[in-house]
Each structure stands twice: as structure tokens, then as C-alpha cells.
């Protein structure tokens, strides 16, 4: 399982693993892929700096990358206090009423100080880039299309390539025109921010649209070697995987409070996700729970635009999290979670991807006329 | 491009082509695939009989199949007059108002006699089976899950295998338990009746769920050899293609009034479809037009259950059709229509599938370590 991408990124297998967990990211890199650490959870860039120090000490010199969330259109800026004033009372009341109906207790005073996610403010995302470029990162990915051109130039001046997500071929072309080096073709089935076109159709469209100007990574629906083979058959240079790493032992090392989330993923089928704007304000695929169902009810308000929706729901996410109830998890996840049947070490998943890939190619060999 | 399916069906390539056009079906079979004629348009079984006589005379002895639409749950039976009484006035008024707003003229008296589609009544679908089994058909496919067990037994008693569509693994297992011989895994991106799970995820799920009890055909998003290779990498034994044959010269031979529809397909991108209940009462993916947009408006009524919804909209479909306006076409179609850039002969598409498949395998060869 080797493509030109491997040489370009200095990795053994064309598997790019996105994860908010530094332990997962390091394990992916050590297993021969490229671990990409999600930065959106770091409201404070100094905290990210410390975690990247840990990465540098724990990846055996293997390449790794970071993922920022920088919307193409600059959203409302401001402190959390400023932004909170823009959230309608109707929405706050709906959240409170829903949590009460779901039996979710309030948090003790000291716990309530945990902030909402500010990582998608340009100011915060730029601080992530500043900090990350002081480390030997091999990729900056933007989870929401092209970052601003000056950010791309900043990365390039450090010799770091930039990847951007695209859910349509026209977006992919725009990214490449902006200087983006890799396109992540994010299919409908993917977790997190995603469009409406499924990978089977989207991937060759994007590959054809960008031609040899940029390698394309296939994102959405990948959790087995067969699926990596399908992605490469469709023209991808590698696979971008996210959801599948959530049910790993290493994830639990970073986030020990994630047992309920992992239980929910193990229990879920591929029908147990929903694409909705309730997490960030933009359409994103989430694990289907009582919380997402409440927002789908006819009496629920329309979600707010980014970044307000996440500021609205972040305190609720904290409260949902503390219930340790798999029915009340709030988590972006793709349809591939239906394949997750237990919590495993990263290396085991990686080994299975590689052997499954070889098996798929052997099967295809037999179809030659 | 050869799998065990080829021997089982007596075909050269594992390409199953569903189409309502006998000219397309015959051309697919003559090009080495299996043409499968959709029967739902034949309210009168005698008409189907005549068309199958034509197939027998025009397929050079190559195998072909038929596709019926027999819902698992028996819907309301009755004549069109009986059923019309069950349609609410609100719905009739919405249809009339929408057609007026879209500037769609009424039809002359004699044209209005064209009936709605009754092919999904069990009584009519059973008459299709009766008639088809008098011809040398090699497959009966049901576009809506398992047909009743006695219909499966009837087909088997004539040595004819039965295929059924599935949008979830549990449905596929149920079909096989009912005696179905082939499962058509219908991904979210597919045209017509479809579920929410994309092919990349659905296909290996169904392959694993049915194991070696039944070969699985991949449906949804297939219009190139790369996509056939992806489907086979995911474990499919063949590809089931529908939408891609709509933009063929042979289709126009059967339905000369389809120029506007073909123009619409050539113009459409992969974003120009929508999954909605407005065509049959069950979720189906259609070409996005002013008509589908009108039904998506907040003031539009909820679609009726099958078979009432199609009886409601069939006269409207006739009127929309007569406008010859690509913006007003009513047509089931999958996301793959974004790849259609011109009207071509069937044989050219088939040749491209085969060469594209070989290219994909050659590309995959280079990824071996």
C-alpha cells in the first residue's frame, strides 16, 4: 500500500489519521501513517504548544501534522462574553428545557467555567498556526476549505504543505487556485462538516477536477483495507480517516472521560448518524442521540450560524458529557462507525487496514479477463 | 473484468443495467452486460408481453432480465378510480396551483387519458411476473426489497433467480432468508428508491452480512470503470447501473419525447438531485427541478403514502413532460448524473467502463509495496 503521497510526506502508508487526541495521532504516525492532531479544542495556544512538545518527544521522529478550523468567510469575532450577547433567548431556553427533559443535571459551579470552543475564530486558529509552525509539522489541514492565502503562504515559507477539505469539485479547484497542496474530498458519509455528495461520486469528480495539480485524499466511510482500495481505485492518493480512531485505547488515554462515547460508537450501526447544523452552525454529521433527536423535533429552533451555535451548545455538551450516558453523547462521527465493534489499539487498526488492502487487491486480480 | 457472477448469469462483464427502455436493455445485453427491463411503466401486462417479444427478437440470444416493483407490505389495492378517492383535496389543489405557477399548460382532452403508474400494485406486478416467465428471462429483480415468497418460488420453479434491493444490511439478510438469490446494495447516492447509507459504507456491510449466501451487486454512484473497480474492491460481485443509461441514443429510440430529460441530465451536476417522497410516497432520489423545489417549500403538503402519491402526481408528470422544458423534468436519477456530459450509444459507455476498469487495476498494481 504505497502511493506518491508516501514519498511526499515521508510516511510508509498513505493513511492520514485525523484525531483530537495526541496519543492517537502519535500512534498513527508511529504505525506508519500520518497522525494529524485537531487543534480546535485548544482555546489557549500555549496549551497546544505543550501538547506539540509532547508529540515531538513521542513520535520517534515520525512525521505528523495539525488540523485547524478556519472558515473561509471570517465569522463574527470577539470574546466569548461579546458573542454570548448575540445568542437569542429562545435558543437558550430551548437548550435548558431540552436538558431538563433529558434529565441532564446542572454542573457544580467550578466545572461550569469550562469554555465553549473558540478554535474556529480566525484569531484563535491563527494562533494555532503560529504555534504549530514552531514544531516540525509536515502538514497543516484546514477542516473548512481554504485557509486565507496569507496563512497558506506562511505555511509554505516554513516548507509545510497545506490540505483543505472539499465537498464539491468546484471548491476543490478553488482551494488549489488558492495554493492548497492537498485536497481532502469529504464525502456525505463522513463525520463532521460534510456536504451531500457521496464519496463514490465525489472522489473521481474531484480527482478529475484538480488533475495533477494536487493529490486527493479520500475522506468519508473508510475503516477497512477494502475501503482504502476502493478510494485508491477511484483515484485518491491516500485515505483520510477520522471517526474510526475514536474507538481506540489511545483516545481514552487522552480523554479518560470518553468511555460513554466509545460505548455509543461500539453500539451504533451505520444508520445511527445524522447530518445537522446543531454542532457548529454548518452541516456536520454527528452520532444520533436523544440530543440530536430533540433538535430534529418540529418545535426546535433553527440552529444559529457559526460560531454562535457552538457557543450556545458547548455548556450543554459539558453537561451531557458528565452524565456518562451513551444515549447523551455529543460527538461528530461518520457512517463508518457501524463497523466499530470494540475499542482497540491504533496499531491493530493500522495492521488490519494494510492486510485488508492486500486482500482486496488479490481479489481484484482474479477479475482480470 | 470478470467475476463468478458472469458464469452464473451467462454474461461477459458483471454489469447489470436497469432501464425502462427495451432498446437500452437489449443494447446492454448485446454489449456483454445484463440488460434489465423495468416493468413498472406497463399498466397492461399484454403490452409488456409484446415488448418482451421484441427483446427476444433483438438480443441475439444474449441473456436479459426484468425489474418489477413489488412493495414488501401490500399497499392499498384497487382500480385507479377507487384509489383516486383516497387523495385529499389539499394535495390536488397544491398540484394544480404549483403547475399553474410554473406555467405548465393543461393537456388536450385526448392526452389526459394516460393513466398513472399502477405497476406497484401487487396485482399488476404479479401480472408482470406471469408474463415475463413466459420469456427466456435470466433474472427477476424487485426494486423494493423481497417480493412475496410465493413469487420467489414461482421464479425459481422456472429456473430464474431473483434479486432484491437493500439499503441496510438487515434488509439484505431478510431478503436472503426469504430465498432471494442476489442482493442489490442500493447506496444513498443512487437514483430512485434509496436509503441513507452511502455505498462506501453500505456495500461491505451487506457483503459481510450475507457472506457466501448471495452475490451482492453495487448500486449507486457508478458510471465509470473506476467506480466498478471500487465496487468490486468493496466486495461486490458486479455493478448495478441505472441513471447512467438515461442519456443514451437507445433511450431516445424508445422514448422520443425525452430530449428535455436528456438535456437536463447533461446540464446537471452531482449536486442536482434530491432525495424525496414526492415521486412514489417512499424516499427516492430525483433530478432536482422547479417541480421538486416546489414540493420542498415550507407550504407544500407532506407526500402521500405509496401508491397514492404517484397517482396524485402522474397526471402532473404528463403535463410537465409535454412542456419539453429541462427545468420541469420529473425523473428519478442518482448523483452520478454529474458525470454525464453528452448522449451516447450504450456500447460506447460499456467500452469505457471496461477500459476504465483495466486502468484502475493497473493504477492499483503500482501501489503494491
Burial class (CB within 10 angstroms; exposed 0-12, middle 13-18, buried 19+) of A306: buried
Asked if A360 reaches chain B (Cβ–Cβ under 8 Å), the answer is: yes
The minimal CB distance from A198 to the residues B3, B188, B360 is found for B188
Beta sheet of A273-276, edge-to-edge order: A192-193, A284-287, A273-276
Contacts of A204 in chain B (CB under 8 A): 224, 226-227, 339
Q: B338 and chain A: CB distance < 8 Å anywhere? A: yes
Rounded distance between C-alpha atoms, residue A239 and residue A223, angstroms: 10
For residues B88-106, give the mean pLDDT.
Answer: 96
CA atoms B288, B290, B292, B296: torsion sign: positive
pLDDT greater than 60 at residue A113: no
Residues of chain A contacting B198 with CB distance shorter than 8 Å? 187-189, 198-200, 220-221, 335
Q: How far is B268 from chain A (nearest CA, A)?
A: 13
Contacts of A221 in chain B (CB under 8 A): 198, 200-201
Task: Name the residue among A200, A226, A335 with its Cβ closest to that of B220.
Answer: A200
Burial of residue B153 (number of CB atoms within 10 Å: 0-12, 13-18, 19+)? exposed
The cell for B129 is: 411476473
Of chain A, the percentage scoring pLDDT greater than 70 comes to 94
What's the residue count for chain B? Answer: 369
Give the minimum alpha-carbon distance from A226 to chain B in angstroms, rounded to a whole number.
5
Mutate to test the interface with A, among B1, B189, B200, B358 (most CBs of A within 10 A): B200
Return d(Cα B305, Cα B303) in angstroms, integer: 7
- For B199, nearest residue in chain A (alpha carbons): A200
Interface residue of A6, A167, A198, A335 to substitute, partner B, most B CBs within 10 Å: A198
Q: How far is CA B174 from the centre of its chain?
A: 21
- A346 close to A253: Cβ distance less than 8 angstroms: no
Q: What is the pLDDT of residue B160?
A: 98
Select from B26, B48, B50 the least CA-distant residue to B36.
B26
Contact B276/A at CB under 8 A: no
Q: Is pLDDT above 70 for B120?
A: no
State which residue of chain B sits closest to A223, comparing Cα positions: B201
DSSP B125: H
What would the mean pLDDT of A127-141 be, rounded to a whole number?
97
Give me the percent of chain B exceeding a pLDDT of 90.
Answer: 85
Say how far apart CA B144 and CA B166 lie, in whole Å. Answer: 8
B221 touches chain A (CB under 8 A): yes
Q: Does A198 touch chain B (CB under 8 A)?
A: yes
| Torsion sign across C-alpha atoms B361, B363, B365, B369 | negative
Q: Indicate the pLDDT class of residue A80, thresholds 50, 70 and 90.
A: low
More confident residue, A262 or B114: A262
What is the widest separation between alpha-carbon atoms in chain A?
A: 70
Residue A82 pLDDT: 75
Per-residue pLDDT of B28-50, as tens digits, reads: 999 999 999 999 889 899 999 99
Strand partners, A145: A143
Is A233 close to B235, i.e. CB distance below 8 A? no
Q: Examine the pLDDT at B272 and tell me if it is beyond 80.
A: yes
Evaluate whether B89 touches B162 at the Cβ level (below 8 Å). no
Write out pLDDT tens, residues B139-154. 999 988 889 999 999 9
* B217 close to B142: Cβ distance less than 8 angstroms: no
Closest of B127, B124, B184, B172 to residue B154, by C-alpha:
B127
> Percentage of chain A with pLDDT > 90?
85
Which runs of consecutive H residues, i.e. helices, occur in A164-198? 169-177
pLDDT in the model for residue A163:
98
Neighboring chain A residues of B356 at a CB cutoff of 8 Å: none
User: Is the CB of B220 inside 8 Å of chain A's CB atoms?
Assistant: yes
Stretch A28-53: mean pLDDT, rounded?
Answer: 96
Residue A336: closest CA among B211, B200, B187, B166: B200
**Residues in A touching B298 (Cβ below 8 Å):** none
Shortest CA distance from A359: residue in chain B? B233
Q: Does A250 touch chain B (CB under 8 A)?
A: no
Chain B interface includes A367 (CB < 8 A): yes
Residue of chain B whose alpha carbon sits nearest to that of A5 = B367
Q: How far apart are CA A148 and CA A286, in angstroms?
A: 27
What is the chain A residue with the closest CA to B227?
A234
DSSP string, B167-180: SSHHHHHHHHHTT-
Instruction: Report DSSP state, residue A191.
Output: S
Chain A interface, mutation test: which of B1, B201, B232, most A Cβ atoms within 10 Å?
Answer: B201
Q: Predicted confidence band at A76 (pLDDT cuts at 50, 70, 90)?
A: low
CB-based contact B197 A204, cutoff 8 Å = no
The grid coordinates of residue B89 equal 383535496
Q: Please, what are the domains in chain A?
A: 4-75+118-248+345-365 (3.20.20.70), 80-117+250-328 (no CATH)
Q: Evaluate whether A252 touches A24 at the Cβ level (below 8 Å).
A: no
Q: Quick check: B199 contacting A, CB < 8 Å? A: yes
**What CA–CA distance (Å, rounded) separates B181 from B146?**
10
Q: Is A200 on the interface with B (CB under 8 A)?
A: yes
Confidence band (pLDDT; 50, 70, 90) for B340? very high
Hey, is B340 helix, strand or coil? Answer: coil
What mean pLDDT value characterizes chain B?
A: 94
Of the candidates B3, B17, B8, the residue with the CA atom closest to the CA atom of residue B349:
B17
A-B contacts (CB, under 8 Å): 154
- Judging contacts by C-beta atoms under 8 Å, the chain A residues touching residue B365 are 361
Question: Tens of pLDDT along A215-248?
Answer: 999 999 999 999 999 999 999 999 999 999 999 9
If residue A29 lies in a helix (H) or strand (E), which one and from where to where?
A: helix A22-30
Q: What are phi and psi of A351, to 5 degrees?
A: -60, -40
Structure confidence at residue B124 (pLDDT) = 86
A189 touches chain B (CB under 8 A): yes
pLDDT at A119: 64
Q: Could you tell me if A164 and A183 are in contact, meaning their C-beta atoms sit under 8 angstroms apart?
A: yes
Better-predicted residue by pLDDT, A146 or A231: A231
Place of cell 405557477: B101
Determine, for residues A202 and B270 on separate chains, whether the beta-carbon distance falls below 8 Å. yes
- Contact A134/B at CB under 8 A: no
Question: Which residue from A minimizes the CA distance to B337?
Answer: A201
Q: B288 to chain A: which residues are within 8 Å by CB?
A: none
DSSP 3-state of B192:
strand
CA distance A213 to A232: 17
Question: With 90 as the cut, is the pLDDT of residue B123 above it?
Answer: no
Q: Give the best residue of A167, A197, A201 to mutate against chain B (max B CB count within 10 A).
A: A201
Run of H or E residues at B358: helix B346-365
Q: Do A197 and B335 touch (CB under 8 A)?
A: yes
Are A364 and B232 within 8 A, CB to CB?
yes
What's the count of helices (H) and strands (E) in chain A, helices before strands?
15, 11
B71: exposed, middle or buried (C-beta count within 10 Å: 0-12, 13-18, 19+)?
A: buried
Closest residue of chain B to A232, computed from CA coordinates: B364
Name the β-bridge partners of A284.
A193, A276
The position carrying cell 385507479 is: B80
- The DSSP symbol for A117 reads P
Residues 6+ apart with CB under 8 A from A266: A247, A340, A341, A342, A343
Q: Which residues of B touch A369 (CB under 8 A)?
A: 1-2
* Poorest-pLDDT segment among A97-111, A163-177, B281-295, B309-323: A97-111
With an 8 Å Cβ cutoff, are B229 and A226 in contact?
A: no
Backbone angles phi, psi at B288, to 5 degrees: -80, 125
ipTM: 0.95
Closest CA to B222 of B231, B214, B234, B209: B231
Residue A167 DSSP code: S
Which residues have CB under 8 Å from B259's CB, separation 6+? Answer: B252, B324
What nine digits make up the cell of B179?
430465498
Interchain contact B167–A (C-beta under 8 A): no
* Separation in Å, CA of A26 to nearest CA in chain B: 23
User: What's residue A81's pLDDT?
Assistant: 67
Query: pLDDT digits over B151-169, tens only?
Result: 999 999 999 999 999 999 9
Q: What DSSP designation does A72 have?
A: S
Beta-strand relationship, B238-241 and B284-287:
unpaired
Using a CB-CB cut-off of 8 Å, the residues of chain A touching B367 are 1-3, 232, 361
- Give a three-class secondary structure readout of B211-241: HHHCCEEEECCCCCHHHHHHHHHCCCCEEEE
Closest-approach residue (CA) in chain A for B360 = A233
Extract the C-alpha cell encoding B157. 420453479
Contact B364 A201 (CB under 8 A): no
pLDDT of res. B122? 77
Write the DSSP assignment of B21-49 as a string of letters.
-HHHHHHHHHTTSEEEEE-TT-SSHHHHH
B199, A204: Cβ pair inside 8 Å? Answer: no
A196 CB near a chain B CB, below 8 Å? yes
Amino acid at each position: 500500500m504505497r502511493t506518491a503521497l508516501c514519498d511526499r510526506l515521508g510516511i510508509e502508508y498513505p493513511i492520514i489519521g485525523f484525531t483530537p487526541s495526541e496519543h492517537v495521532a502519535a500512534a498513527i504516525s508511529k504505525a506508519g501513517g500520518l497522525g494529524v492532531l485537531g487543534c480546535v479544542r485548544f482555546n489557549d495556544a500555549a496549551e497546544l504548544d505543550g501538547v506539540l512538545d509532547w508529540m515531538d518527544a513521542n513520535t520517534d521522529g515520525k512525521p505528523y501534522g495539525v488540523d485547524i478550523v478556519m472558515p473561509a468567510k471570517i465569522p463574527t469575532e470577539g470574546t466569548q462574553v461579546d458573542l454570548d450577547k448575540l445568542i437569542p433567548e429562545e435558543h437558550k431556553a430551548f437548550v435548558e428545557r431540552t436538558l431538563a427533559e433529558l434529565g441532564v443535571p446542572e454542573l457544580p459551579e467550578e466545572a461550569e467555567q469550562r469554555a465553549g470552543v473558540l478554535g474556529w475564530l480566525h484569531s484563535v486558529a491563527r494562533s494555532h498556526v503560529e504555534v504549530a509552525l514552531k514544531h516540525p509539522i509536515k502538514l497543516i489541514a484546514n477542516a473548512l476549505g481554504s485557509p486565507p492565502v496569507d496563512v497558506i503562504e506562511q505555511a509554505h515559507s516554513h516548507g509545510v504543505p497545506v490540505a483543505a477539505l472539499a465537498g464539491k469539485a468546484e471548491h476543490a479547484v478553488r482551494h488549489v487556485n488558492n495554493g492548497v497542496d492537498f485536497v481532502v474530498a469529504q464525502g456525505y458519509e463522513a463525520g463532521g462538516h460534510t456536504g451531500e455528495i457521496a464519496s463514490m461520486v465525489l472522489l473521481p469528480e474531484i480527482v478529475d477536477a484538480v488533475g495533477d495539480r494536487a493529490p486527493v485524499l479520500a475522506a468519508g466511510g473508510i475503516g477497512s483495507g477494502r475501503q482504502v482500495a476502493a478510494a485508491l481505485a477511484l483515484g485518491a492518493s491516500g485515505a483520510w480517516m477520522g471517526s474510526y480512531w475514536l474507538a481506540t485505547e489511545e483516545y481514552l488515554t487522552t480523554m479518560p472521560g470518553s468511555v460513554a462515547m466509545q460505548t455509543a460508537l461500539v453500539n451504533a450501526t451505520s444508520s445511527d448518524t445524522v447530518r445537522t447544523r446543531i454542532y457548529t452552525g454548518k452541516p456536520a454529521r454527528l452520532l444520533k442521540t436523544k440530543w440530536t433527536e430533540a433538535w430534529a423535533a418540529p418545535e426546535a429552533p433553527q440552529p444559529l450560524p457559526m460560531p454562535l451555535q457552538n457557543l450556545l451548545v458547548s455548556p450543554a455538551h459539558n453537561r451531557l458529557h458528565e452524565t456518562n450516558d451513551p444515549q447523551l453523547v455529543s460527538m461528530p462521527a461518520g457512517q463508518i462507525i457501524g463497523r466499530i465493534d470494540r475499542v482497540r489499539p491504533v496499531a491493530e487498526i493500522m495492521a488490519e487496514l494494510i492486510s485488508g488492502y492486500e486482500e482486496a487487491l488479490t481479489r481484484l486480480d482474479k477479475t482480470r479477463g
